[in-house]
Amino acid sequence: MATTKTTKKTAGATKTTKAAGAAKAKAAGATKAASAAGGTKNAGGDGGNGAFEALRSILQGHARDLVVVHDTPDNYYLDTRTTAPNGKPLFFGAARAGRAYTSFYLMPVYTNPELLDGISPELKKRMQGKSCFNFKTREPALLDELEALTGRCFEQWKFAGHIG
């Protein structure tokens, strides 16, 4: 039999029992377990639509000249071998699968916004902020355009001495 502990607040308006607290803890544990089992996140983070794998593939084409920092089922992250002014490696790009969409980060367009000149309005609509592109589905034409943009970014940073 569970023991019950009653706690009264100043006016006696709130009463809590140990049994109620145990039920709350059990519910929280069930939520954590469902989350760990993938109950609150889509498979692969992109709903199985292949957007993450396509975006990762774009970055992997340049990986031999960069440093792979993360390579997990939902995160692919590349740094340069160059040290930034803050003493840390200079970030090049990443693909990260989230619950609602997959994000593609490309730092060269942040430091050199002229690299975005001439991109299609459709790709521009995918931008969030200055250097992030979000995709909910795999869209071959936009992915081809993003691959070409990534290539231009790589070449520009190589010419500038950030990649060597």
Query: Per-residue pLDDT tens for 80-121?
Result: 999 999 999 999 999 999 999 999 999 999 999 999 999 999
Q: What is the mean pLDDT of the chain?
A: 80
The answer to pTM > 0.75 is no
- Model pLDDT for residues 134-162, shown as the tens digit of each residue: 999 999 999 999 999 999 999 999 999 99
3-state secondary structure 50-96: CHHHHHHHHHHCCHHHCEEEEEECCEEEEEEEEECCCCCEEEEEEEE
Range from 5-19, 24-38, 53-67, 94-108 carrying the lowest mean pLDDT: 24-38
Establish if 153 belongs to a structural domain. Answer: yes
Tell me the residue range of the domain where 89 lies: 44-159
CB of 55 closer than 8 Å to CB of 102: yes
Establish if 116 belongs to a structural domain. Answer: yes
Establish if 36 belongs to a structural domain. Answer: no
Q: What is the pLDDT of residue 49?
A: 73
Establish if 164 belongs to a structural domain. Answer: no
Count of domains for the chain: 1
Establish if 73 belongs to a structural domain. Answer: yes
